[in-house]
Amino acid sequence: MDKAKYIGYRPTWAEVNLGNLQYNFQQIKRLLAPHTKIMACVKADAYGHGLVKVSRKLISCGVDYLGVASIDEGLCLRRERINAPILILGLLLEKDIGPLFDYNLTSTICTDDFAIFLNNAARKRKKIIKVHIKVDTGMGRLGILHKDALGFIKKIHKLKFLDIEGVFTHIACADINREFTLYQIKIFRDLLAQLKEAGIHIPLIHAANSLGVINYKESHFNMVRPGLVIYGLYPKRGLDINLKPVLALKTKVIYYKKVPHKYGISYGHTYVTKRKATIVTLPIGYGDGYPRNLSNRAPVLIRGRRFRISGRVCMDQMMVDVNDFPVKIGDEVVLIGFQGRKRITAEELAQLAGTIPYEIVCGLGNRIPRIYI
């Protein structure tokens, strides 16, 4: 057996279309001024699409920076010899700064104590270390409160072993509140003006997530930080950008049988057949990150037709009543993606599950092999 090619025997997999990734990247690029840089958010295993493969492809497309959530994600990239600049968007504890130096990772800073600690560590190693300062303009998550930001940045600016490469903020309500979003951008802009006045030049300035990129040109500054749209998913409906979904989720009919009328299906018998019917079993469940609350709700595509999941999604399996439609063991089943002219999107599943497309793709587990095409 060729181990390099072995991707598992269970016929459940995700196809990741790197051509579509490139297409989306180019679509995003078209919305930007020529010199605006792109930091692609590849945290959470590139939103479930595979950190390393996706990052490599984006680098070949000309991405300027990669954004990850943790040191561990940064290390994962460095260990695969990915040399692009990497910003850790999350924070770390003082005891964990070693890899910043050893692997050339850029850290987010928003406290004095951490900045001073990092500066001292850098002095000891005789190395200047790059940081991006995070400012909270209304997200209430990470970042120095905007009214304290000027004083903070002036202080950090004096630390000889820290190089302030970037300053950034994050918008909180881009999908529902234009006025507040513009207010956040204004506060950030005011801070930038004050920095200029103070003679502090910071090369990279960024604020825009996917919705910022599409709907708020004011938020572009000289770098943007899209995530979701790179993967071809829409953060909300009605956006003026054409994207191609990168991920498709597929499985195969592993078993089917005829059952009588009024036959209960799956745990709790939340589905009962309305007539004699063929029940198909699919080898995927919530143990793979397929949401259990899609039970009796979500569609699947079999032989170019839409059917609905019947009864509860189990850990490793789920069932579909296909009435008397002829199926065969090994028939391909699409859970996300196209089959013939029919289609199921991650956005549709998210809506049915009462969540957002982010959670659908990030949730897909390690048990599902990713196949790159």
Ligand X SMILES: *Cc1c(COP(=O)(O)O)cnc(C)c1O
DSSP 315-371: SS-EEEE-TT----TT-EEEEEEEETTEEE-HHHHHHHHTS-HHHHHHH--TTS-EE
Residues near ligand X (CB under 6 A), total? 11
CA distance 313 to 311: 7
Q: Cβ 229 to ligand X, closest distance in Å?
A: 6
Buried b (16+ CB within 10 A) or exposed e, 143-180: bbebeebbebbeebbebebbebbbbbbbbbebeeeeee
* Region of 158 on the Ramachandran plot (φ > 0 left; ψ -120 to 50 alpha; else beta): alpha
Q: Which is nearer to ligand X, 170 or 312 (CB)?
A: 170
C-alpha dist (Å) from residue 11 to 2, 6, 78, 210, 330: 18, 12, 32, 33, 8
Q: Which of 43, 57, 134, 250 is catalytic?
A: 43
Counting contacts by CB under 6 A, is residue 209 touching ligand X? yes
Buried b (16+ CB within 10 A) or exposed e, 281-313: bbbbbbebbbbeebbeebbbbbbeeebebbbbb
Binding mask 301-340 for ligand X (x = CB under 6 A): ----------------------------------------
Contact present, 317 and 298 (Cβ < 8 Å): no
Binding mask 19-48 for ligand X (x = CB under 6 A): ----------------------x-x-----
Q: Which is nearer to ligand X, 235 or 245 (CB)?
A: 235
Residues of this chain, 57-96, that bind ligand X according to CB under 6 A: 89
Q: Which of 124, 154, 155, 267 is catalytic?
A: 267
Q: Which is nearer to ligand X, 68 or 318 (CB)?
A: 68
CA distance 289 to 350: 13
Contact present, 92 and 125 (Cβ < 8 Å): no
Q: Cβ 143 to ligand X, closest distance in Å?
A: 9
Q: Cβ 68 to ligand X, closest distance in Å?
A: 9
Q: Cβ 356 to ligand X, closest distance in Å?
A: 9
Binding mask 210-229 for ligand X (x = CB under 6 A): x--------------xxxx-
Q: Which is nearer to ligand X, 210 or 273 (CB)?
A: 210
Clarify whether 267 is annotated catalytic: yes
Q: Cβ 89 to ligand X, closest distance in Å?
A: 5
Counting contacts by CB under 6 A, is residue 252 touching ligand X? no
Q: Cβ 227 to ligand X, closest distance in Å?
A: 3
Please select the residue that binds ligand X; options are 37, 56, 57, 170, rule is CB under 6 A.
170
Clarify whether 290 is annotated catalytic: no
CA distance 372 to 85: 24
Q: Which is nearer to ligand X, 85 or 235 (CB)?
A: 235
Single-letter code of the amino acid located at 42: V
C-alpha dist (Å) from residue 331 to 12, 252, 323: 12, 5, 16
Please select the residue that binds ligand X; options are 143, 235, 299, 337, rule is CB under 6 A.
235
| Consecutive H or E run containing 279 | strand 277-282
CA distance 270 to 252: 23
Q: Which is nearer to ligand X, 70 or 104 (CB)?
A: 70
At residue 54, φ and ψ (nearest 5 deg) are: -65, -45
Contact present, 322 and 301 (Cβ < 8 Å): no
Q: Cβ 10 to ligand X, closest distance in Å?
A: 30
For ligand X, the nearest residue by Cβ is 227
Q: Which is nearer to ligand X, 224 or 300 (CB)?
A: 224
Which residues carry out catalysis?
43, 267
Q: Which residues bind ligand X (CB under 6 A)?
A: 41, 43, 89, 170, 209-210, 225-228, 235
